[in-house]
Amino acid sequence: MPRFEPTFTPTISYVRSLRIGHLDIWCEGRNPQSGYRCGRYKSLPIEGFDDAVTLVSIASRLRCEGCETVGKVDIRPAWDDAPAQRTSGPSETGWMTPPAPRK
Ligand SMILES: [Zn+2]
């Protein structure tokens, strides 16, 4: 799973350059009732955002509909939107599925 380098600040322009039209957002707040990580997921279209807007600034303004936490989210381009660039085998998507048992 790609991770942003701390020095790299992705912008809407960057997301558009990847031909990705949405952002994947997961809430990292805690549910006030259960105390567990909220984890609510939202897909946010980037239409309507200016190119220069950074993902960090978007994240800082988001309020979770589940736990009401503001600005505490994991935000990243929706890689599933990107044009397929599959050159190798199924291990590329391994993070979504349980690892295959070793033989
Ligand atoms: Zn939440």
Å from CA of 64 to ligand 1 middle: 5
| Whether this model's pTM surpasses 0.85 | no
User: What per-residue confidence (pLDDT) applies to 82?
Assistant: 85
The per-residue pLDDT of the chain, averaged, comes to 84
Contact 48, 37 (CB under 8 A): no
- In a domain, residue 93? The reply is no
- Predicted confidence band of residue 67 (pLDDT cuts 50, 70, 90): very high
- In a domain, residue 94? The reply is no
User: What per-residue confidence (pLDDT) applies to 85?
Assistant: 60
Query: Which positions ≥6 away from 10 have C-beta within 8 Å?
Result: 4, 54, 55, 77
Å from CA of 74 to ligand 1 middle: 11
Count of structural domains, the chain: 1
- In a domain, residue 97? The reply is no
- Closest by CA to 2, choosing from 76, 54, 72, is 76
- In a domain, residue 18? The reply is yes
Å from CA of 72 to ligand 1 middle: 8
- In a domain, residue 87? The reply is no
Q: Is the dihedral of CA 30, 96, 76, 8 positive or negative?
A: positive
- In a domain, residue 103? The reply is no
- Name the token pair of 69: 């936490």
- In a domain, residue 90? The reply is no
- In a domain, residue 72? The reply is yes
User: What per-residue confidence (pLDDT) applies to 91?
Assistant: 47
Residue 84 reports pLDDT greater than 90? no
Beta-carbon neighbours within 5 Å of ion ligand 1: 27, 29, 38, 40, 64, 66-67
User: What per-residue confidence (pLDDT) applies to 100?
Assistant: 62
Mean pLDDT, rounded, for 19-31:
95
- Which domain range does residue 24 map to? 12-82
